[in-house]
Structure 1
Amino acid sequence: MIIAASAPLTVVAGGTTSNFAVTSVLGIPLSFVVLGVILALFAVGFSALSSKVQTAGAFYSYVARGLGRVPGVAAAWVAIVAYNAMQIGIYGMFGFATADLFASVFSITVPWWACALGGWVIVGVLGVNAVDLSAKVLGILVALEFLVVFVYDFIAIGTAPEGISAAGFAPGELFTGGVGAVLAFSVAAFMGFESGAIYTDEVRDPRNTVRRATFGAVIVIAVFYAFSAWAMVMGEGASKVVENSATNGPGVVFAMLGSALPVWAVQLGQVLFVTSLLAALVSFHNVVSRYLRSLAREGALPSFLATSRGVGRAPVAGSLTQSALAMVVLLIFAVAGAGAEDPIMFPVLTLFTWLTNVGALGLVALMALTSFAALVFLRRNPDGHGVFTRVVAPLIAGVALGILVVTIIIQFPVLVGLEPGNVLNWLLPLIALLPGVIGALWAMWLRGTSPERFARIGHGSAAEDAEGVGL
């Protein structure tokens, strides 16, 4: 589920080429390594928390237990908006890619919004079923994605028009004036790696499964994307990769595949590009529905959202709610796109670009906050953890991620491709962070009007208060 959210083929074909094109920085491969180190440090404190706070609230529960219930609910509201933004934004790219597939392979013209609604139906059906059904479907798709990207990597390395070198990994090729934009782009490839904790209620061994999945995801994502980005530099040539990415976008990958494989194999790669997006949609949908259930179960949202069904305890109410919200946003963008100057690219330039960057900003902010929550919680509850786990790793991760949050806000006009004076340059980041303020106010109101509900926040279904947190 975690790797599916990362969407390997989407990141390599779409995200990496966009990173080269927009930033004109060669050090994209090194950026994945740098972020991998930062997020591995984050995972140290995150995993220590997950072994002690075994509820499906993840960010929300961890912040509540570390920093207090009011910050915890603030984190929950940011998480709900961020994950929804990521999930719904991906429908824009999914609709575009599916419509393009129908046009190029079958010569059939289908509106992007119709394709997006088709994906919406599939996601909705999988969402109201137990996680094992989604996992089986996504497992097959992700395995095929990895295969396609590995084939591309080795064809690109074998082509290497300028020879094999370490281009892309030199510090001077990353740490330039555009490093902030590069890291802001690359961090989106990791989004979802922390979502393993959301499935605490549905795994056999919550204490160890979450920790292993989180560290495994960080390592796999960092190494795989660094290697693939370097392969792209080799395949296009260090002097041409930026120019070619700006000109051809995802076509860089499929053109390379087409140079060595038959047409049907390239078309299969295009199909898997679409299923890669579908896999990410399902994964983020599952995260949102479980957040809603966790909050409702603890009294922070209406109780009907806690409704689950079946042996696998699928969060049916949360799933239906997320689907309804996605439908509303899709309809709004479908109507708005009807009169766009470029209706074909409209869902990519607006729905996908705007919302996924909003989601990435919110999730990075949550990771920074969670790092400081781990610092506080583990200081109160050391239980054999060393200084590195309790202090050093969470502190470094929190500071680094905080700097990254500021960088994303500053670089937001670059990330979304808007002119400096556009109102959306500050409105979109506000959509990511303002829910935290609203959530905090809601929690304070709840504390005064319903102390019993407030007491359950951050403690799963129980109302215990072992740490004496009363904020």
Structure 2
Amino acid sequence: MASTASTTEAPAQPRRLSGRLGVGSIVFMVVAAAAPLTVVGGSVPLGITIGNGAGFPAMYAVGSVVLFFFAVGFVAMTRYVPNAGAFYTYIAAGLGRLHGLGGSFLALLTYQTIQAAVYGYLGAALGGVVSDDLGGPDLPWWVWTGLAIAVVGFLGYRHIDLSSKVLGVLLIAEIGIVLVVDAGVVLAGGGPEGFSTASLTPSGIAAGAPGIGLMFALAGFIGFECTAVFRDEARDPDRTIPRATYASLAVIGVFYTLSAWSVVSAWGDTGAVTEAAADPEGMVVQTASDFVGVAAGDVVQALLLTSLFACVLSFHNVVNRYVFSMANTGVLPRFWGRSHARHHSPHTASLLQTGASVALVVAFVAAGLDPVLQVYTWMSGIATLGFILLMLLTCIAVLVFFARTRVDARVWNTKVAPVIGVVGLLVAAYLTAANFGLLVGGWTVGAVFLVLIVASYLVGPLVGVLKPGADPLAVAAFEAQLDAAEPAVPHQVRSTPHTAPDSEDIA
């Protein structure tokens, strides 16, 4: 049935995405999703305040190391699981069809909630700038959020190259201004206490609540793994995706660690904690004004808005491709997996995603939720735990897949690094779950959200029982016809003979 549907729809309804994205373009998309300026301006002060104080910058380095071990196995899987579903296809390849289906719905929840979180923050921030700084009309936050949804929907409907160009410009600007501020702090020799050393000492790193600090740090990496989602639009997937994954992780990790350390150094170990608690929203803006100039502070304020916009645009593209991939493997309705005849974009998925974002905003407004204290905080909490659980499941799936298939003999890539990744992610998952009530504003709300996370995963096996043909690893018949590839076999991973690893595949 699935094969027939695919065959009859293929000529009239294209189901293929196209593009020639290189490493740089994909890195732009992924790093934009991580919203570097938003993290530095928002998460860093919070990590300092309720995390481990002046030692918080070290948590980004720790998070980078944990995710590096995850990335080694993740990248090793890309050549053997060529589907563009990323997390859930890898989980299915290692742990089986039903677990893969569970991962697909958990991934949708994770990316949808982080996108909703940023939409809330963007609406509130944009409204504040327009009314307070520019003297414009004081409109409800959801008006500005609705405008952002419309622009994101327009860009997401068109070819991916347009989004990548927009994200590239915005990303260069926000990273550039933060690096200018970092340079200003370094050239000035730091603040009144000189350069911070708290991140370099065990006592400084272990101060306060390092577990909560690690939780905030890992939240800043959400989206770095989305390189695989753009596989179908990459110039040379087998080379581009591994390079883009490592490059994204390196850029994000180094940038966050350096920038967080610069912020702490600007205020001093003691002063940073005091300032972060007193004015978390304006801490980085004030740092820019003090060390570079008032104009730099204004630029940071403006680029915080573009950073938020770049973040939601990037996650919009990611969710579109998850829906597109799930539809073309029978998990979701197949007509959701159509691509535009001219733009070669997942336009149906984009329209659905835009509609879902509008519906969520309407629900938030109807419930009277605060866009920052509740929408942003609560949705970010769900996304953070979902992200860690997805990586943990993927890391376990990598171990099982290579142990079962033995298609790759590299011990480091398929055994040692993934095992270390599992241990690190288990610790992160425990710390996040144990502190989940604090992250979402109390255990009453926290318990509801934990149930939601578990329920989203259980939807997968239910769909698997109701739709026996739904398979995260299925390859649509039209793809085999277009590529003259081997016929698709349900629940079978298309693999290629293992050859000597290229340089980009060696961690």
The question of a shared fold, defined as TM-score above 0.5 by the shorter chain, is answered with yes
Alignment of 1:60-79 (within 5 A): 60-79=88-107
Deviation of 1:446 (Å): 2.1
Alpha-carbon distance between aligned partners in 1 of 2:398 and 2:210, rounded to the nearest angstrom:
28
User: Aligned letter for 2:141?
Assistant: W
| 1:3 and 1:217 in contact (8 A); partners too | yes
**2:473 corresponds to:** 458
- SS of the residue corresponding to residue 52 of structure 1 reads coil
Alignment of 1:296-335 (within 5 A): 296-310=327-341, 313-335=344-366
**1:440 corresponds to:** 461
Q: 1:89 aligns with which of 117, 135, 147?
A: 117
Alpha-carbon displacement from aligned partner over 1:198-254 (angstroms, at most 9, x marks no partner): 011111111111111111111111111111111111101001111101111131111
**1:430 corresponds to:** 451
Q: Could you tell which deviates more after superposition, 255-264 or 210-219?
A: 255-264
| 1:99 and 1:115 in contact (8 A); partners too | yes
Q: Could you tell which deviates more after superposition, 222-231 or 433-442?
A: 433-442
**1:156 corresponds to:** 185
**1:288 corresponds to:** 319
**1:278 corresponds to:** 309
Alpha-carbon distance between aligned partners in 2 of 1:241 and 1:417, rounded to the nearest angstrom:
24
Q: 1:196 aligns with which of 190, 212, 227?
A: 227
Q: Could you tell which deviates more after superposition, 48-57 or 97-106?
A: 97-106
Deviation of 1:385 (Å): 3.6
Q: 1:214 aligns with which of 227, 245, 253?
A: 245
Alpha-carbon distance between aligned partners in 2 of 1:28 and 1:465, rounded to the nearest angstrom:
44
User: Aligned letter for 2:145?
Assistant: A
Q: Could you tell which deviates more after superposition, 319-328 or 380-389?
A: 380-389
**1:37 corresponds to:** 65
Alpha-carbon distance between aligned partners in 2 of 1:136 and 1:83, rounded to the nearest angstrom:
22
Alpha-carbon distance between aligned partners in 1 of 2:244 and 2:171, rounded to the nearest angstrom:
15
Alpha-carbon distance between aligned partners in 1 of 2:288 and 2:210, rounded to the nearest angstrom:
30
Alpha-carbon distance between aligned partners in 2 of 1:325 and 1:178, rounded to the nearest angstrom:
36
User: Aligned letter for 1:365?
Assistant: L
| Structure 1 stretches lacking a partner, 5+ long | 341-345, 448-452
Alignment of 1:128-167 (within 5 A): 128-157=157-186, 158=188, 159-167=190-198
User: Aligned letter for 1:258?
Assistant: S
| 1:152 and 1:256 in contact (8 A); partners too | yes
Alpha-carbon distance between aligned partners in 1 of 2:409 and 2:306, rounded to the nearest angstrom:
41
Deviation of 1:382 (Å): 3.5
**1:393 corresponds to:** 417
**1:120 corresponds to:** 149
Deviation of 1:394 (Å): 1.0
Alpha-carbon distance between aligned partners in 1 of 2:446 and 2:91, rounded to the nearest angstrom:
28
**2:438 corresponds to:** 414
- 1:207/1:467 Cα in 2 relative to 1: closer, same or farther (>3 Å)? closer
Q: Alignment length, in residue pairs? A: 453
Alpha-carbon distance between aligned partners in 2 of 1:73 and 1:199, rounded to the nearest angstrom:
20
Alpha-carbon displacement from aligned partner over 1:291-321 (angstroms, at most 9, x marks no partner): 1111110111111110111455211111111
Alpha-carbon distance between aligned partners in 2 of 1:262 and 1:334, rounded to the nearest angstrom:
38
Alpha-carbon distance between aligned partners in 1 of 2:341 and 2:295, rounded to the nearest angstrom:
41
**2:47 corresponds to:** 19
Deviation of 1:384 (Å): 4.3
Please, what is the CA RMSD of the aligned residues? 1.8
Alpha-carbon distance between aligned partners in 2 of 1:467 and 1:51, rounded to the nearest angstrom:
10
- 1:262/1:303 Cα in 2 relative to 1: closer, same or farther (>3 Å)? same
Alpha-carbon distance between aligned partners in 2 of 1:13 and 1:327, rounded to the nearest angstrom:
27
- SS of the residue corresponding to residue 200 of structure 2 reads coil
Q: Could you tell which deviates more after superposition, 62-71 or 259-268?
A: 259-268
Alpha-carbon distance between aligned partners in 2 of 1:111 and 1:156, rounded to the nearest angstrom:
37
Alpha-carbon distance between aligned partners in 2 of 1:240 and 1:6, rounded to the nearest angstrom:
27
Alpha-carbon distance between aligned partners in 2 of 1:118 and 1:361, rounded to the nearest angstrom:
29
**2:480 corresponds to:** none
2:357 equivalent to 1:336: no
User: Aligned letter for 1:331?
Assistant: V
- SS of the residue corresponding to residue 216 of structure 1 reads helix
Deviation of 1:438 (Å): 1.7
| 1:181 and 1:414 in contact (8 A); partners too | no
User: Aligned letter for 2:232?
Assistant: D
Alpha-carbon distance between aligned partners in 1 of 2:401 and 2:343, rounded to the nearest angstrom:
31
User: Aligned letter for 2:125?
Assistant: A
Q: 1:359 aligns with which of 373, 383, 407?
A: 383
Alignment of 1:46-65 (within 5 A): 46-65=74-93
Deviation of 1:29 (Å): 1.2
TM-score by length of 2: 0.86
Alpha-carbon distance between aligned partners in 2 of 1:8 and 1:370, rounded to the nearest angstrom:
25
Alpha-carbon distance between aligned partners in 2 of 1:57 and 1:436, rounded to the nearest angstrom:
16
User: Aligned letter for 2:267?
Assistant: E
Alpha-carbon distance between aligned partners in 2 of 1:96 and 1:457, rounded to the nearest angstrom:
38
| 2:52 and 2:205 in contact (8 A); partners too | no
User: Aligned letter for 2:446?
Assistant: N
- SS of the residue corresponding to residue 190 of structure 1 reads coil
TM-score by length of 1: 0.92
Alpha-carbon displacement from aligned partner over 1:316-366 (angstroms, at most 9, x marks no partner): 1111111111101111222333xx7xxxxx210011110011011111100
Alpha-carbon distance between aligned partners in 2 of 1:413 and 1:22, rounded to the nearest angstrom:
13
| 1:181 and 1:411 in contact (8 A); partners too | yes
| Structure 2 stretches lacking a partner, 5+ long | 1-28, 477-487, 495-507
Alpha-carbon distance between aligned partners in 2 of 1:384 and 1:324, rounded to the nearest angstrom:
43
Deviation of 1:60 (Å): 1.1
Deviation of 1:66 (Å): 1.0
| 2:84 and 2:228 in contact (8 A); partners too | yes
Deviation of 1:137 (Å): 0.2
